[in-house]
């Protein structure tokens, strides 16, 4: 059985070779695992629960780039902002306005989350609601939020072609949004798609950020 060091080395090389960045999702995993990966040189870690992020953050080095990848409730924004470098789940104008209000004098990078899967349980914007959101921001700009790309989650299925099509859809959304709203903004450059079960497909479809947990760290412990 490969060690964590060996598994990480193999995975990080694969992701880097595709021109993407690896976000290691550490939900339910202890800080000791994060420290081990940190010592191997890794800096991008993702959490999707505010309480768990708040617990881990003070125990770990301050140069970690924390990614918040879960659904973010507006009443938790004030807790998350001091801790993270990128919020992946910008799924409504109200949330973006709340982040902007709470950001004070700092800049906050956010991805627009789009709904590309069949499952209705997943959060995210549609093409039309995303355009309306961006038109509203164009009319009343955000002072502290910088939109740097898009995020989406594919349907949980073994049908790789369906997953590929959904990721192609997100890439097309990214290109369209870039052309219409961010053509002169080089920082609008991220496509966050792909997790442990489908990251290879996501890399083939142009992902720049893959969010991988169980593929590297094993199954989560919910005890």
Does residue 141 belong to any structural domain of this protein? Answer: yes
pLDDT on residue 221: 65
CA 7 to the chain's CA centroid: 22
In the 8-state DSSP scheme, what is residue 184?
T
pLDDT on residue 222: 55
Give, for all 223 residues of the chain, the pLDDT tens digit: 789 999 999 999 999 999 999 999 999 999 999 999 999 999 999 999 999 999 999 999 999 999 999 999 999 999 999 999 999 999 999 999 999 999 988 999 999 999 999 987 778 999 999 999 999 999 999 999 999 999 999 999 999 999 999 999 999 999 999 999 999 999 999 999 999 999 999 999 999 999 999 999 998 665 5
pLDDT on residue 59: 98
Any idea what the Cα angle at residue 127 is, between residues 125 and 131, rounded to 5°? Answer: 90
Which two three-digit tokens encode residue 13?
A: 């090389």
The CATH number linked to 176 is 3.20.20.10
Count of the separate structural domains present in the chain: 1
Does residue 223 belong to any structural domain of this protein? Answer: no
By residue range, what is the domain housing residue 153?
4-217
pTM of the predicted structure, to 2 decimals: 0.95
Does residue 128 belong to any structural domain of this protein? Answer: yes
Does residue 222 belong to any structural domain of this protein? Answer: no
List Cβ neighbours of 27 (8 Å cut-off, separation of 6 or more).
Answer: 46, 47, 48, 49, 52, 213, 220
């Amino acid at each position: 059985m490969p060690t964590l060091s060996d598994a990480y080395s193999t995975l990080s090389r694969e992701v880097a070779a595709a021109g993407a960045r690896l976000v290691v999702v550490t939900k339910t995993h202890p800080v000791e695992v994060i420290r081990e990966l940190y010592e191997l040189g890794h800096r991008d870690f993702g959490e999707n629960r505010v309480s768990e992020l708040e617990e881990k953050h003070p125990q770990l080095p301050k140069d970690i780039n924390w990614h918040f990848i879960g659904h973010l409730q507006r009443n938790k924004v004030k807790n998350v902002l001091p801790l993270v470098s990128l919020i992946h789940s910008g799924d409504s104008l109200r949330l973006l306005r709340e982040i902007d209000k709470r950001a004070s004098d700092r800049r906050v990078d956010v991805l627009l989350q789009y709904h590309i899967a069949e499952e209705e349980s997943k959060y995210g914007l549609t093409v039309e609601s995303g355009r309306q959101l961006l038109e509203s921001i164009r009319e009343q700009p955000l002072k502290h939020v910088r939109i740097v790309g898009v995020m989406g989650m594919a349907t949980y299925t073994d049908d790789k072609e369906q997953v590929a099509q959904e990721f192609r859809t997100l890439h097309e959304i990214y290109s369209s949004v870039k052309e219409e709203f961010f053509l002169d903004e080089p920082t609008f450059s991220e496509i966050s798609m792909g997790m442990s079960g489908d990251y290879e497909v996501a890399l083939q479809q142009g992902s720049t950020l893959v969010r991988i947990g169980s593929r590297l760290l094993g199954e989560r412990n919910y005890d």
